[in-house]
Amino acid sequence: MFYKFAAVLTTLLAIYVYRSGRAFFHHVLTVPNLPEGYFAGGDYRDHCVVIKDEKDNRLNHCEHITFWDHLDEEDHVTNRFVLLSCDPGRREWNTVTGPMNDPDPFGNLWIYSTEFGSLSPVTLTNYPEGHDFHPIGIDVYPSKAGAPSSLFLVNHARENSTVEQFVLDPAQPTVATHVRTLTSSYFVAPNSIALTSPTSFYLTNDHLMTYRLPRPFGSILSTIETIGGPPLTWVAHVTVLPDGSIEHKFAALGIAFANGVALSRDGLQLAVASSSLAKVNFYKRDPSTNDLTLDRDVVVPFGPDNVMYDDDDTLIVAGHPHFPSFVAVVENKPGAKAPSWAVSIRPIAASEDGESEGRKNSRSLKKAGYDSRAPLSASVIAPASSTDEVETIFQSDGSVYGTATTGLIDSRTGIFYLTGLYEDGVLVCYPGPRNV
């Protein structure tokens, strides 16, 4: 039975390896010629610092970061925190890439004040005893006029992956109070969350064949799925009902390795990273039904991990340019480092639609060499998009900062934040030089 299943699967995979040949060539077979470090805002040596937990060295292996905004009555941002989802034990417990040896040491959340530049661990209260804590994707609703916020996160617990609901109160921002654990047989490999209200969210499911399958199938099949890119994963929309039960509906099917997800500020567009095919899908969202319609996709020069909108609805995408290097880091090979790349994706202004053919042609000629400032231009790897502008924000061969997962830009200050799945600390790059 299992062998028959595997045979059918192999055939399907052969078809999709063909379809994902471009991504396979660039992100598996070719080592990208990346610089030690590059930041679009200026020399990385004096613009970027890695902020660490100097005391206990626990701010490590962070998967996700998101802003927690405090708004006034008029929805103006009065204060902004960065919330970080980290797991120093990731080398022993990673349900996406393996290994799954030891789920015991808990991961942790951190909160960073953009106002004071101060970092604190977040303590969990009311957390169920004996329940593992391995946070991956997180999202938190903004706090309006001092009201508490709801925080949801994906938890890669030992038996199965769950979604945890917490409350974060601006009066006590370093304490997250647990509300409930959501579990569902639809949560096969949940990864990333984008809230649509304080009690509902989009949720990506990154694999159909997961590392959790019995050995050796788990590691083999999930790796085949990662590299082959069969369209077996999805985005769901989940609503938590007042009694704590959930309503689950499939919102977008047929995605290859659906990874990060983000909702635009106006709530009308959803971005979903398709890691295996090295592209980002943009869906139009119907806010009344949460239904999604594919609008366009944009190729990026790496396997995108998480996607985050900035204040101007420019999408920041971070990810992994070279899969085998990433695996070498996961496997803790001596001296292994895995590169990082982060880009912005911005729709080409609508006004340009009405331009003459001649201008269009000259623009597409120019676009062939888009992203011309970066040491390794995205244009060398990813064909130019006719709908969107792609530009490098940060790149590194892994020596300055590797295994990039989430990039964030605070549009108010121009500060760029980046997490690395196997890095210690978070990279912060300032628009001006730092004399540190």
Ligand X SMILES: *[C@@H]1O[C@H](CO)[C@@H](O)[C@H](O)[C@H]1NC(C)=O
Instruction: Tell me how far apart the alpha carbons of residues 85 and 135 are, in angstroms, rounded to a whole number.
Output: 6
- Which of 178-186, 193-201, 321-329, 412-420 is the region at the interface with ligand X (rule: CB under 6 A)? 178-186
3-state secondary structure of 83: strand
User: How many residues does the structure list for the chain?
Assistant: 436
Minimum distance of ligand X from residue 162's CB (angstroms): 7
**Residue 264 touches ligand X, criterion: CB under 6 A:** no
H-helix or E-strand containing 220? helix 217-228
Determine the 3-state secondary structure of 46 from DSSP.
Answer: helix
User: Under rule CB under 6 A, how many of the chain's residues touch ligand X?
Assistant: 5
> What is each CA distance from 249 to 192, 246, 353, in whole angstroms?
16, 10, 36
Q: Which is nearer to ligand X, 159 or 266 (CB)?
A: 159
- Least distance in angstroms from the C-beta of 236 to ligand X: 14
- Please say which residue, 158 or 346, places its beta carbon nearer to ligand X: 158
Distance, in Å, from the CA atom of 291 to the CA atom of 358, rounded to the nearest integer, reads 38
Q: Compute the least distance from the CB of residue 185 to ligand X, in Å.
A: 5
Is 186 or 370 the residue whose CB approaches ligand X more closely?
186
> Measured from the CB of residue 107, what is the shortest distance to ligand X in angstroms?
18
Q: How far is the CB of 242 from ligand X (least distance, A)?
A: 21
Region from 94-102, 166-174, 181-189, 381-389 binding ligand X, contact rule CB under 6 A: 181-189
- Angle between the N-to-C axes of helices 217-228 and 2-19, in degrees from 0 to 180, rounded to the nearest 10: 20
The nearest distance, CB 207 to ligand X, in angstroms, is: 16
Residue pair 196/261 in contact by the 8 Å Cβ criterion: no
Q: Considering beta carbons, is residue 155 or 340 the nearer one to ligand X? A: 155
Closer to ligand X by Cβ: residue 113 or 160? 160
Contact call for residue 183 and ligand X (CB under 6 A): yes
CB-based contacts of 345, cutoff 8 Å, min separation 6: 271, 280, 298, 300, 314, 315, 317, 388, 389, 390
Closest to ligand X by CB, 115 or 159: 159
> Whose Cβ is closer to ligand X: residue 160's or residue 377's?
160
Q: According to CB under 6 A, which residues from 51 to 80 bind ligand X? A: none
Nearer to ligand X, 46 or 132 (CB): 132
- Give the H or E element holding residue 415: strand 415-420
Q: Provide, rounded to whole angstroms, the least separation between the CB of residue 116 and ligand X.
A: 39
Q: Which residues pair with 206 in a beta bridge?
A: none
- Are the C-beta atoms of residues 272 and 252 closer than 8 Å to each other? yes
By the rule CB under 6 A, 185 interacts with ligand X:
yes
* Residue 209 C-beta: closest distance to ligand X, Å: 17
Which residues, 6 or more positions from 428, have their beta carbon under 8 angstroms from its beta carbon?
Answer: 48, 49, 50, 51, 415, 416, 417, 418
Span 158-177, contacts to ligand X by CB under 6 A: 159-160
Residue 186 CB burial class (10 angstroms; 0-12, 13-18, ≥19): middle
What's at 238, amino acid-wise? V
Q: Select the span of 89-97, 180-188, 306-314, 360-368 touching ligand X (CB under 6 A).
A: 180-188
> Is residue 33 a contact point for ligand X (CB under 6 A)?
no
d(CA 166, CA 304) in angstroms, rounded, equals 28
Identity of the residue, 78 or 181, whose beta carbon is nearer to ligand X in the bound complex: 181
Min separation Cβ 189 and ligand X, Å: 13
Name the site residues for ligand X (rule: CB under 6 A).
Answer: 159-160, 183-185
